[in-house]
Structure formats: structure tokens, C-alpha cells
Amino acid sequence: MKPAHEVTDAKSWRGARSPLDVARIREDFPILKRQVHGKPLVYLDNAATGQKPQVVIDAVNRYYATENSNIHRGIHFLSEIATADYEESRAKVKRFLNASDTGEIIFVRGTTEGINLVAQSYGRRFVKQGDEILISAMEHHSNIVPWQILCEQVGARLRVVPMNHDGELLIEEYERLLNDRTKLVSVAHVSNALGTVNPVKQLVEMAHRRKIPVLLDGAQAAPHMKVDVQELGCDFYAFSGHKLFGPTGIGILYGKSKHLEAMPPYQGGGDMISLVTFEKTHYNILPYKFEAGTPHIAGGVGLGAAVDYLSGIGLEAVTAYEKELLAYATEALCTVQGLRIIGTAKEKAAVLSFVLDGVHPHDIGTVLDQEGVAIRAGHHCAMPVMQRFGVPATARASFAFYNTKEEVDVLVRAVHKVLKVFR
């Protein structure tokens, strides 16, 4: 099945208003046809997870229906084609991120596991008592807690780069916090709670001047903008398949091979060894050294299909279109009395967190749900961000390339309805 989207080459879309044929793209996503509470679904919870195009659903189905077998082991026919498909997905991800080698692409369960892998493997080998790990004030809990665990284990200290009231990192503070004890910087490429796009290339350059490696949490970036790990220069990059319109339970950790080679395994088991005796085990080569046990094969195959689909649409076109949606939605929501947007950075991805005077975000979410509008209300796994802005929670609408301005209009009408109910 061919993904339905207009073919746009990199030159022709520039300056055009909207190069995406969104109506046709929506046909690729079966779930977008369904109703919720008798209303057409308006799915604006893309920062929590993305919907799946038919090509991804088909790839997973086809795998189970025609190829299911264990990989890297069997010499029988099915095992060989399953292995080839799984490894082809790895090669697709390598091209997607512009990594220099497939050995640098490790399949994990998601962003969370990718960060934990680095914390427990790189961290426990190279971070010592008195050392420091630097994160930012806008991190997801997945990029806070693994470092707290590591710091507790080795006696290191977690330090935090503050942000201003728009949700932008304070670069001078970052510079000030980098020091000889800093052993690793780990920051979000894009904030899930605020939408801020951090100047990650600059952050990497500044850390590298002091030879400090940098991990980027790409969970909210990889689905929405072109990511080139060599261009960014980052040492590690983690993202989740399910936010990139692929299956749940599969994700990617990219790591420079010089680091991965120097790191001990994260977990022990099958597939990550080359030879086992009771005296000593020899570890497998990259990337298998970090992939113990039977992996999520169907997930890997599905992620390959998702990467193909998204690349087929074109990340530049996706970014441009989502920017347009964000501007439209921001302007429309600003007309609602008593509505305050949390996260007003100059560089933003299409995430709109907001609060309404006198209405709890959960009540906003409940009323919107009755209108078929799916948003998220809560702390977005970023409690420190909520504390920074002095709110218990926010309502968050987050967009993808299949959303439309008409859906934004439905959202805004529904927010007006919230006001009628609660004021």
C-alpha cells in the first residue's frame, strides 16, 4: 500500500503555504474516521502518542501473519526473512537519523529505556563520586529520574539549567554550570510540556568545548522535524516509536560508536553474547551488545514502516505545516477570555499548554472529551515544569501533520463551552 501524500521535492514546497494534502493523508489513518461520544474524533494528544497509518498496521500484521519467528538464531527460512526485515528497519533508522553506522542504532523499548541505558551503562562506568550531571528545568521525568538513580548510586550531583518565563533555557546559566566535574549533559530537544525547541546544536558545541558528551531526548523532536545526529554532533539521541506513528514498546537509542564501544552491557542474556562459559562471557559486537533477549521484532518492523511513511511525507513539509497550525491555534486560543498559554518560547513545536482562570485543567479535558476533542490534562510527566510556572497542571493540545485548522476551530468552540459550563 502506497502512503497517500503529495510528492513534494525539497525545493518546490519552500514558500508555499501548505504543501501537504492533509485530506488525503487523513485517509491513511483509520482511527481518524471514528467517533467519540457521537462526535468526530479530534485527536490533539500527539505529544502523548501518535496515531498509526495503515502501512504501519499492515507491516505489523504481515509480520505476524507471514514471517513470525525468532531472529538472529534460526537458520530456517522464516527466521532469515524476519531477521532481514528487522535489520532493514535498523538501516532505515540509521538513514533517518543520518547516523554513520547501523552499529550505532540500538533498539530499545522507548525514550525512557534509552536514557536509562545510558545512565546505567555509561553513567556507572564513567561518573564518579563528586561528578555532576547537567539536565534542564524542562525535562520529562524520564530525563530526570534515571539521573537521580545514578547520582544516588555513585555519589554524583544532579544540576539543573533554569529557564525564563517563556520556557527558554538561560544559556548564560548553562555556560556557568558547565565545569570540570560535569560528566554528561542530558537535555530535551523539544519540551513535551511547553513545546520549546532548544538550541541543541549550540548546547552540544558548548559542552564539547569542555569535552563533555551530550544526550538529547528526542521524543518530541524526531516525529516533527528533520534530525541529523551528525549535524547536531550529539553523543546520544533517544526517541520513541509510538510518538513517531509507529508501534508502542519500541524505540531507538543512537550512540556514537566510540562511546558504545567503551560502555559495558546494560542487561545480560541471549543475543548480546558471542561466547559464554561459566568462567567468562564475551560480548557481541555493536549494536547487539546492548540488545539482550528476544526483542520486539514486530515493533521494529512497524517502526521501519513508520520511518518510511514519515520520510515519504517529508519532515520539512511536516515542520512547516505544523508551524502554521500552531500559529493559527495560538491566535485563536488567545481570544478566549482568561486563557493563559504556558510556554511562549520564540522557537516552538506544535504543543499548546494552557490554563483557564478558575477552571481546573481536568475539567477542561472532560468537557472537551464530550465534544470528541482528545487533549491531555495534567502535569505531562514534568512536575518541575508545573512548579516553575506555579500551576498544578495544564491542558495541552499537541498537533501532528494530520490535524487541520477545522479541528482547531472545534477545539476553540469546545473551550468556549467550558467557560459556559464553569463560569
Ligand X SMILES: *Cc1c(COP(=O)(O)O)cnc(C)c1O
- Which one among 46, 83, 89, 111 touches ligand X, defined by CB under 6 A? 111
Strands 214-217 and 182-188, by their bridges, are: parallel
Which member of 203, 219, 307, 368 binds ligand X (CB under 6 A)? Answer: 219
Annotated active-site residue 381? The verdict is yes
290: which 3 cell numbers? 546492548
Which positions from 65 through 104 interact with ligand X, judged by CB under 6 A?
A: none
Please state, as a whole number, how many other Cβ atoms lie within 10 Å of the Cβ of residue 387: 12
Nearer to ligand X, 82 or 377 (CB): 377
Catalytic residue among 151, 234, 334, 381: 381
Q: 305 CB contacts (<8 Å, ≥6 apart)? A: 55, 56, 58, 59, 60, 246
From 77-85, 106-114, 119-127, 200-208, give the range in contact with ligand X by CB under 6 A.
106-114
Q: How far is CA 196 from CA 56, 237, 326, in A?
A: 29, 17, 12
Q: Residue 97: which of 295, 3, 238, 260 has the closest Cα?
A: 238
Among 51, 121, 136, 142, binds ligand X (CB under 6 A): 142
**Per rule CB under 6 A, is residue 394 in the interface with ligand X?**
no
From 140, 159, 348, 379, residue interacting with ligand X (rule: CB under 6 A): 140
* Least CB distance to ligand X at residue 217 (A): 5
Contact flag: residue 110 with ligand X (CB under 6 A): yes
Q: Are 78 and 68 in contact (CB under 8 A)?
A: yes
- The whole-angstrom separation of Cα 260 and Cα 357 is 49
Q: Say whether residue 52 binds ligand X (CB under 6 A).
A: no
Could you tell me the end-to-end alpha-carbon distance of the chain, in angstroms, rounded to an integer? 50
Minimum CB–partner distance for residue 272 and ligand X (Å):
21
Does 192 help bind ligand X (rule: CB under 6 A)? yes
Under rule CB under 6 A, residue 398 binds ligand X:
no
Site residue total, ligand X (CB under 6 A): 12
| E-only strand ranges, 32-179 | 35-36, 39-40, 42-43, 105-108, 132-136, 157-161
> In whole angstroms, how close is the CB of 219 to ligand X at the nearest point?
3
Q: Which residues are catalytic?
A: 381
Residues at the contact surface with ligand X, assessed by CB under 6 A: 110-112, 140, 142-143, 188, 192, 217, 219-220, 240
